[in-house]
Amino acid sequence: MTSLSISRLSTGLKMLLILTVALLPLGLIAVFASIESAQTARLRRNDDARVTATEAARQLSLAIGRTSLDLRAVTAQLDFAQMTAATRLARCRGALSDLRAARNGRYEFAVLTISGRPVCASPGFSGVARVIPQQLFATEVRLLPTVQRLQFEARSPGGSLYGVVEAPLATIADLTALPGRTIRHGIVLRQDAARVVVRPYTGHAALGPRLRVTSPVANGQVMLELVTNAVPVGVIELLLAFLPILMWSAAAIIGWLVVDRLMIRPLLRLQRIVADYRPEDGPLAVPHLTTPAREIRDLGAAFTLLTERVALHEAELAEGLLRQTKLTREVHHRVKNNLQVVASLINIHARGVEDPDVAAAYASIQRRVDALAVVHRNHFAEMEASRGVALRPLIGELAANLRATAAPGAQFGITLDVTPAYCTQDVAVPVAFLITEIVEVAMIAEPRGKAVIRLSPIAGVDRATLSVTSMALTDTMGHSEGPPERFLRVMEGLSRQLRTKLSVDPAVGSYALDISILPEPTEP
**Digit-coded pLDDT (tens) for 187-234:** 999 999 899 999 888 765 545 577 888 999 988 889 999 988 776 555
pLDDT score of 103? 86
Share of the chain above pLDDT 70, in %: 79
| Distance between CA atoms of residues 472 and 446, nearest Å | 6
pLDDT score of 105? 85
| 352 pLDDT tier (thresholds 50, 70, 90) | low
Coil, strand or helix: which one is 411? Answer: coil
| Distance between CA atoms of residues 367 and 371, nearest Å | 6
| 478 pLDDT tier (thresholds 50, 70, 90) | very low
Is the pLDDT higher at 501 or at 270? 501
| Distance between CA atoms of residues 475 and 328, nearest Å | 46
- Which domains, ranges and CATH numbers included, belong to the chain? 15-235 (no CATH), 386-516 (3.30.565.10)
DSSP 286: P
pLDDT score of 196? 92
pLDDT score of 293? 66
| Whether pTM exceeds 0.85 | no
Read out DSSP for 34-74?
HHHHHHHHHHHHHHHHHHHHHHHHHHHHHHHHHHHHHHHHH
Q: 266: closest CA among 244, 238, 297?
A: 297
180 exposure class (CB count in 10 Å sphere: 0-12, 13-18, 19+)? exposed
pLDDT score of 416? 92
- What are the CB-based long-range contacts (under 8 Å, 24+) for 473-479? 473/438, 473/441, 473/442, 473/445, 473/506, 473/509, 473/510, 473/511, 474/506, 474/507, 474/508, 474/509, 475/506, 475/507, 477/445, 477/446, 479/445
| Distance between CA atoms of residues 22 and 164, nearest Å | 73
pLDDT score of 4? 54
28-81 per-position pLDDT tens digit: 776 677 677 767 777 887 888 888 889 989 999 999 889 888 888 888 888 777
Residues ≥6 apart with Cβ < 8 Å to 362: 346, 347, 349, 350, 353
pLDDT score of 1? 47
pLDDT score of 207? 52
Residues ≥6 apart with Cβ < 8 Å to 138: 155
Query: Strand 450-458 relative to strand 463-469: parallel, antiparallel, unpaired?
Result: antiparallel
DSSP 471: G
Coil, strand or helix: which one is 417? Answer: strand
| 353 pLDDT tier (thresholds 50, 70, 90) | low
Is the CB of residue 371 less than 8 Å from the CB of residue 398? yes
Residues ≥6 apart with Cβ < 8 Å to 304: 283, 284, 285, 286
For the chain, the straight-line distance linking the first and the last C-alpha, in angstroms and rounded, comes to 50
Provide, for the chain, the percentages of residues in helix, strand and coil under a 3-state DSSP scheme, each rounded to the nearest 5: 55, 20, 25
Give the burial string for 469-487 (b: 16+ CB within 10 Å, else e): bbbbbbeeeeeeeebeeee
Sign of CA dihedral 326, 332, 333, 338: positive
Coil, strand or helix: which one is 262? Answer: helix
Range list of H helices, 162-227 = 169-176
